Amino acid sequence: MGERVWGFFPMSTHLKVQAGKVRADQFVDVSPHRAEYAPVYAQFTRSAANPIYDPAREDQDSLLRGMFMTSWLCEDFMSDNATFGADAYLITSASSKTSIALGFAVKERGEKRAIGLTSAGNVAFCESLGCYDEIVTYDAIAELDPAVPVVMVDMAGNADLISQLHHHYGDNMKYSCRVGATHHDKGGVVEGLPGATPEFFFAPSQVQKRSQEWGPEKLMQALGMSFLRFREFSDGWLQVNRGYGAEAVSTTYQSVLAGGASPQQGQILSMEEQSA
Could you please report the per-residue DSSP string of the chain? Answer: ----EES---SSS-----EES--SSEEEE--GGGTTS-GGGGEEEEGGG-TT--GGGHHHHHHHHHHHHHHHHHHHHHHHTGGGG-SEEEESSTTSHHHHHHHHHHHHHTSSEEEEEE-GGGHHHHHHH---SEEEEGGGGGGS-TTS-EEEEESS--HHHHHHHHHHHGGGEEEEEE---TTGGG-----S-SSSPPEE--HHHHHHHHHHHH-HHHHHHHHHHHHHHHHHHGGGT-EEEEEESHHHHHHHHHHHHTT-S-TTEEEEEESSPPP-
Residues 6+ away with beta carbon under 8 Å from 250: none
Instruction: Average the pLDDT over 19-23 and give the result.
Output: 92
Q: What is the pLDDT of residue 193?
A: 93
Q: Name the 3-class secondary structure at 187.
A: coil
pLDDT at 267 over 70: yes
pLDDT at 218 over 60: yes
Residue 137 has φ and ψ, to the nearest 5°, of -80, 160
Domain over 64-204 is classified CATH 3.10.450.240: no
Residue 121 has φ and ψ, to the nearest 5°, of -70, -15
Q: How many CB atoms lie within 10 A of CB 158?
A: 23
- Residue 273's pLDDT band (cuts 50, 70, 90): confident
Q: What is the pLDDT of residue 109?
A: 96
Q: Name the 3-class secondary structure at 269.
A: strand
- Out of 25-29, 82-86, 185-189, pick the least confident: 185-189
Q: What is the pLDDT of residue 125?
A: 97
pLDDT at 206 over 80: yes
> Nearest CA to 57 among 95, 8, 103, 4?
4
CA distance 173 to 175: 6
Instruction: Average the pLDDT over 30-57 and give the result.
Output: 89
Q: What is the pLDDT of residue 1?
A: 61
8 Å CB contact between 132 and 91: yes
> Nearest CA to 241 among 264, 260, 265?
265
* Strand pairing report for 19-20 and 26-29: antiparallel
Q: How many CB atoms lie within 10 A of CB 109?
A: 13
8 Å CB contact between 271 and 13: yes
- Residue 34's pLDDT band (cuts 50, 70, 90): confident
- Residue 187's pLDDT band (cuts 50, 70, 90): low
pTM for this predicted structure: 0.91
CA distance 41 to 34: 8
pLDDT at 185 over 90: no
The per-residue pLDDT of the chain, averaged, comes to 92
pLDDT at 276 over 60: no
**Residue ranges of domains in the chain:** 1-50, 64-204, 238-276
Instruction: Average the pLDDT over 83-92 and give the result.
Output: 98
Instruction: Average the pLDDT over 258-263 and give the result.
Output: 84
